[in-house]
Amino acid sequence: NNNNNNNNNNNAGRNSNRGGGGRGGRGRGGGRSRGGGRGGGGSQEKKIKNKDNNNNKDSKSNGDSNQPASVEQNNDNNQQANAQKNYDKTNKPKGKKQQQQQPKNKNRQKGGSGDGGNQHAKKYDKSSQQKHNNNNNEVMAPSVPPSQPQQTSDIHYGRGQTITILHVAEKPSIAQAIAQGLCTNGNRNTRSSKLPVHEFYSSESFPKAPHAASVQHRVTSVAGHVFAIEFGAEYQSWDSVDPAELFTAKTLRKAQQGSVVKHLQVESKSVDFIVLWLDCDREGENICFEVLSICQGLMKSGGGAGETSNYDRVYRAYFSAINPSDIQKAYQKLGKPDRNQALSVDARQELDLKVGVAFSRFQTRYFQGRYGDLDSTVLSYGPCQTPTLGFCVQRHIDIETFKPEPYWTLELAMIKRGRALKAQWDGGRSFNKNKIQKLVDSALETGPVAKVSDVIKKEKKQGRPVPLNTVALLKACSKALGIGPHAAMQTAERLYLSGYLSYPRTESSAYPKSFDIKGMLQQQTTDSRWGSYVQQLLRSGNVTKARGGVDMGDHPPITPCREARVGELSGEMARVYELVVRHCIASVSQDAVWQSTRVNFVIESLGDKGTFTLRGKELVSPGFLTVLLHKEYGDDNDRVATSDDVEDEEEGVIPEYVKGELIPLSAPKSESKVNVATAGSVRGNLNIKERMTTAPGYLTESELIGMMEKYGIGTDASIPTHIENIQKRKYVTLESGRRLIPAKLGLVLVQGYHLIDSSLVLPQVRADIETQCGKIAKGQASMEEVISKAIKLFGEKFDYFVKSIDKMDVLFGASFSKLEEIGKPFTRCGLTRRYLSYIPGPPVRLYNKYTETVYPLPLGGDVKQWTGRHCPVEGCNFELCLYAVGAPPRTFPLCPRCFNDPDYALDMEEIPSDPVDKEDEGKERKIQKMAGRNLCLECPLPDHHPLIDELTVSPDPNSDGVLILDPRLGPKWKINSTREPTIVHLPQQVSKVTVLDRRDEVLGVHMMKIEFKEGESPLPDSNILTCCFPNEERLQNMVRVHHGSERTRAKGGRGRGGRGRGRGRGGRGRGGRR
């Protein structure tokens, strides 16, 4: 880096006469610099040289964080490590200068700019540099918003040549849509690889290199996040690592799939430009820099001395839908990726990992070692998940502590023109029955008559709904369609990927000025359900501006992108699509108009306590209600635009009343009697109604979403995942009416947090962190500072939590059974000769109540008793079990002590995982993986264990494991693979199989003695065959080999060799299953 800085200083000197400016490329003097970036003209040469020399020391220690380290192209073994190293450098947090002058540092090459056009140079160089000199630690937003169209500094790049552009999308389906949108002639080729690659040529100019002769487009994708944040191997053990150490532990980013890294390396080699088409949210911005850490150093060099960065030719597409018109618009207005938003995701991921895992490990180990009937594998804590659970528990507490009270109210019941009507008492309610009774007695003693004091009729408008954002969609789906938020979000994403809806993750509830409302409506004119209404709306010119809402500037509200005819979609996709379309049409329709009637009655003898009101309404103009049946689809908060509550008025027209009209009253009569009124008569009763106060109901999903939004818990994209997680972890159950009812474990956890530190479960702390992450995204806060403060805060809370855990333990002791109190005798301990109790869990384990020792059992299969057999390992002597796993099941011997002995402990790094796109689901998998360290989908003992060795009859040709005789023996004799889901069925003619002590001299496996049934032997003169199984061709021709499946199979993970427990040749696994 010192050399780079010196080269830049020399370049500044050489270019000063040409108007260049040191590290800047396009100076104000009009020439171009080889230094890259923008300079300040030749006159500033000396100042820039001095500034660069002063920064040499910092550059030496920290490097240029904007430049990713070069990727080793020819070393496949190191590709993940190199990609990780590049990501850390590409996405490394920066001080103010690096934040706001990122493109300048990125382009130490001919004509580098990368942060907008020349028109911003003066403002950019002077103002931002001056602020930087005042405070080196201040973080600033870039002077040119990344989403604004920006231009390559060298407008003549690729003149007369063919340039290659690599387009990278977030998912294969989006890559296909982008290729279709950009390839106007339809002549494209698709290569099949790990991820499809669409290639085509275009004679149309590329906006960032308009003088190129032609353009080769290469469109591919990733599959969500390329990297995942996790702890290093030294912090993976739950037993040997103090959870408090995790707060200061270093994290690393590991490639989720090495094949994706290699794919990007191959496709990005020597390309001229990279255009990033990742989802336009914070997660998408984060993936942008993950992709750049792999690809940027492999691009074709743009010239200049010692350069490793090509950021000037990296662009970002900002789009909200994947139809061809939107793709073309985004292609013509390419901006830059937003590093600040990417850093905000890094901050949130690191905080969630450290805080969540530290608390989860501690409380899981503590309570699962004491109680046996906890209905959860992991007692997890999450900065967002736990406050979400807290809302549900608090409502439950409100319900349980609620004490119903009786109250009384007056009701003026009338019969007019054969209709029974009820006017409500304006006095509300009273908790004193005697007081109400006195009012009735007084009214009936002196002139029992009610007088019409006023009749008011006026038109009221019911406001159309505001445009639909993510939270409103989730609430509407739960309330109106009965679709949970997690399923609703997945359905909306599928509709987006299929081109039916715009991007479903948005905070905006107002259409931007550029949104083509009429174009959206025009697409729906032929639909049989609402087409005629839309046609009339367009013809009449009554398309109105949407009401209220806020344009957050991220994405427009959720809208349909194309028509879906009846029957084209099915199931939840059809229902969600219809909800969105009806809502969008309604949002630009006319308001509904109601004729409201209010009749006021007065009983003069009661004074101001004798007023009653009768309300009614009649629909005058349905407006948006024609297409949106608000009781079915609408959101409560969006129904009424006026201050008057139309919804409280009785539906229908009430009879005519005249001011001054008198209604004679009578004493209340028994409800068992029926009053018969003749037409035209008016009569009334003054009744006392007794009612009870009622407790609030349990939170519905819709209400919980609203509370999470109000208190800033999670984002619009992560809210469904948090609600899903508290259900999956059995903290709450989903009951009828989409109500969330806390389970016993959820109640105990939340109440325990309140006993120790209420801030662990209250929303304020998490909301503050979300606010700080938002400031990082806007360039208003430093990532290091936000993480440091949050880690210090939660570290102190964790220390106090550990010291005070006895308070929570009291609640657990009152709600759950201790290990010594549950379980049934299962097998004998080889040390004490006492029976071990079987604890069904989760997790499943054996417990010695005399020594208080716990022996976790393998997860993923079934553990059965195998009475009377003992482990042959010296000093063990534990009674054995059988472990069956897979479909059809393979059965293996299991020794509880040997399975848990450190010499045979499972390697945490080789637990299989299945990375997914959603970051919160990835975190859930990691927590499950680490807690379920005994997940075992193969033989639970190593191949060299005496139990396995004495049953081994052959090496496994398909893995580094071995084949053993099924320990259940006959009558159906089988041979199982220890590492693959393979079963060898011996012929039905076999009556008995014995594994001999004698071994084959070449293979080292045991010989077999096979006895055939009388008269069914394939041997000419004997019923007994002694052989080495892999060498006996006659037997090989008689067996049947079945390749089954494992009950739980994750992609990748351990492969051939298992966990290195083969006969001296396993070692670490070599990738995924074949």
Please report the pLDDT score of residue 1070 as a whole number. Answer: 35
843 CB-near residues (< 8 Å, 6+ apart): 368, 377, 856, 857, 859, 931, 932, 934
pLDDT band at residue 651, thresholds of 50, 70 and 90? low
Cis omega (within 30 of 0) for bond into 387: no
Spatial separation of the C-alpha atoms in residues 858 and 1058, rounded to whole Å: 15
Confidence check: pLDDT of 47 > 80: no
Spatial separation of the C-alpha atoms in residues 313 and 208, rounded to whole Å: 8
Confidence check: pLDDT of 74 > 70: no
Question: Which tokens sit at 901?
Answer: 């002995």
| Closest-CA residue to 966 (of 981, 952, 980, 956) | 952
Query: Pairing mode, if any, of strands 162-169 and 273-277?
Result: parallel
Confidence check: pLDDT of 907 > 60: no
| Closest-CA residue to 961 (of 950, 972, 976) | 976
Please report the pLDDT score of residue 378 as a whole number. Answer: 83
| Closest-CA residue to 197 (of 271, 292, 288) | 271
Q: Is 1047 exposed, middle or buried (0-12, 13-18, 19+ CB in 10 A)?
A: middle
Q: What are phi and psi of 569, to 5 degrees?
A: -115, 160
E strands along 820-861, which residues? 824-828, 835-839, 845-848, 853-856
Cα angle for residues 437, 439, 442 (degrees, 5° grid)? 110
| Closest-CA residue to 152 (of 120, 112, 123) | 112
Residue type, 813: G
Spatial separation of the C-alpha atoms in residues 497 and 942, rounded to whole Å: 46
Spatial separation of the C-alpha atoms in residues 984 and 990, rounded to whole Å: 13
Tens-digit pLDDT profile for residues 361-373: 999 888 887 887 7
Region of poorest pLDDT, from 274-283, 817-826, 857-866: 817-826
| Beta bridge partner(s), residue 191 | 197
Q: Which one of 235, 318, 503, 698 is the catalytic residue?
A: 503
Looking at residues 974-980, what average pLDDT do you find? 92
Looking at residues 345-371, what average pLDDT do you find? 91
Region of residue 1019 (left: phi > 0; alpha: psi -120 to 50; beta: else): beta
Residue type, 563: E
Question: Which tokens sit at 631?
Answer: 């009781």
Looking at residues 493-518, what average pLDDT do you find? 87
Looking at residues 174-191, what average pLDDT do you find? 87
503 tagged catalytic: yes
Total H helices, total E strands in the chain: 30, 32
Please report the pLDDT score of residue 195 as a whole number. Answer: 87
Place of tokens 């493109």: 103
Spatial separation of the C-alpha atoms in residues 14 and 11, rounded to whole Å: 5
Tens-digit pLDDT profile for residues 314-324: 999 998 878 78
More confident residue, 50 or 789: 789
Please report the pLDDT score of residue 814 as a whole number. Answer: 85
The pTM of the whole model exceeds 0.85: no
What is the overall mean pLDDT for the chain?
78
Contact 950, 936 (CB under 8 A): no
Contact 32, 117 (CB under 8 A): no
Which H or E run includes 796?
helix 783-803
Instruction: Return the C-alpha torsion angle 499, 502, 504, 506, nearest 10.
Output: 160
Confidence check: pLDDT of 632 > 70: no
Looking at residues 659-670, what average pLDDT do you find? 78
Confidence check: pLDDT of 789 > 50: yes
Confidence check: pLDDT of 645 > 60: no
Q: What are phi and psi of 934, to 5 degrees?
A: -95, 15
H helical segments located in 498-619: 517-522, 531-540, 571-587
Confidence check: pLDDT of 701 > 90: yes
More confident residue, 96 or 1042: 1042
Q: Determine what percent of the chain is predicted with pLDDT higher than 90.
A: 39
| Beta bridge partner(s), residue 995 | 1008
Please report the pLDDT score of residue 86 as a whole number. Answer: 55
Confidence check: pLDDT of 576 > 50: yes
Looking at residues 416-442, what average pLDDT do you find? 88
175 CB-near residues (< 8 Å, 6+ apart): 167, 168, 169, 195, 196, 198, 219, 220, 221, 277
Confidence check: pLDDT of 291 > 90: yes
Q: In what order do the strands lie in the sheet with 189-191?
A: 189-191, 197-202, 214-221, 162-169, 273-277, 314-316
Confidence check: pLDDT of 818 > 90: no
More confident residue, 234 or 651: 234
Which H or E run includes 656?
none
929 CB-near residues (< 8 Å, 6+ apart): 911, 913, 935
Tens-digit pLDDT profile for residues 1008-1033: 999 998 888 888 888 898 999 988 88
